[in-house]
Chains A and B, each alone.
Chain A
Amino acid sequence: MDLLQRFAHGEIDAFETLVRQFQGDIYAWTVRIVRDPGVAEDLTVETLWRVYRARHQFRPNGNFSAWARRIATNLAIDHLRRNRPEQSFLAEPAGVPQPDPVVQRENQERIQQAFRRLPAKLQVAATLALIEELPYDEIASALGTSVGAVKLRVFRAVRILRKHLSQAGVRPE
């Protein structure tokens, strides 16, 4: 019986081998989304625990890594939803940007804040596509959706950011 079959049958040794083999990949994926190493570690533990709990749903001829990554993505989206900043982004009226380091730092904070306030699904798609520059098909697989849907989410994320930043008088350089 191969490793994945043994895992599906609940053998803890097989699961341990899989954890050691894939924990780095799952962590790397999660930290790219949540961008916080401590949170990513916790979510990786939670992901692998859920993987073990759901082992009966796993088909041994399936792709373990893709399956675990999808669970990790869903957990990361839930985390972003729960930790979305409450405060309003529209702090100041529109103004002309200044090439001042202080203003630039403020702009940086506003851009980051606006980004964190995006709906979780849009934020994840934009993070993976625009910041991490991952292929759309890889993102679509992890999100359990189509490439077209990912492109639409990225498009909507950029439009929302543009609107919010414009209303706050921030012009990205």
Chain B
Amino acid sequence: MKGHEDKYMTEHDDRQIRDALKQYCPPVNTELRRDLWPDILRKLDHHPVRVPWYDWALVGLSAAMFLAFPRLVLVFAYHL
């Protein structure tokens, strides 16, 4: 019986907390007030997409391999 009462009180409290959250957290305006494209474009200009150093290393390594062993180009082309 006690356990049943506790469970009821817990559910009651939980419901009160849910109601309080809805009551006390005011709704926000979800309308975007301005176009964000200029900001995005500026950010793209200021932070150009960089190729990571390991990609450049891989390209350099591959080029060196092809120069040293030209036949590897055929093997490479076969696997593409």
Give the tally of cross-chain contacts (CB within 8 A). Answer: 84
Instruction: Please state if B44 and A49 are interface contacts (CB–CB under 8 Å).
Output: yes
- Is the CB of B37 closer than 8 A to any CB of chain A? yes
- CA–CA, A99 and B78, complex, Å: 80
Q: Are B19 and A172 in contact (CB under 8 A)?
A: yes
A41 to B36, Cβ gap below 8 A? yes
A23 CB contact (under 8 Å) in B16, B21, B30, B32? B32
Given contacts A45-B36, A45-B39, contact A37 B29 (CB under 8 A): yes
How does the 8 Å CB contact mask read for A107-119 relative to B, with 1 for contact and 0 for none? 0100110010000
B40 at the interface (CB under 8 A from A): yes
Chain B residue contacts of A20, Cβ below 8 A: 35, 37
Interface residues of B in 29-48 (CB under 8 A from A): 29-37, 39-40, 43-44, 47
How near does chain B come to A80, taking the closest CB pair, in angstroms? 14
- Is B24 in contact with A108, judged by CB distance below 8 angstroms? yes
Residues on A lying within 8 angstroms of B by beta carbon are 16, 19-20, 23-24, 27-28, 31-32, 35-37, 41, 44-46, 48-49, 52-53, 108, 111-112, 115, 126-127, 130-131, 158-159, 161-162, 165-166, 171-173
Spell out B's residues near A (CB within 8 Å).
10, 13-14, 16-22, 24-25, 28-37, 39-40, 43-44, 47, 49
26 sample A-B contacts, Cβ–Cβ < 8 Å, listed by A number = A19-B37, A20-B35, A20-B37, A23-B32, A24-B31, A31-B28, A31-B30, A37-B33, A45-B39, A46-B43, A48-B36, A49-B40, A52-B44, A53-B49, A111-B24, A112-B25, A115-B25, A126-B21, A127-B25, A130-B22, A131-B21, A131-B22, A158-B14, A158-B17, A158-B18, A171-B16
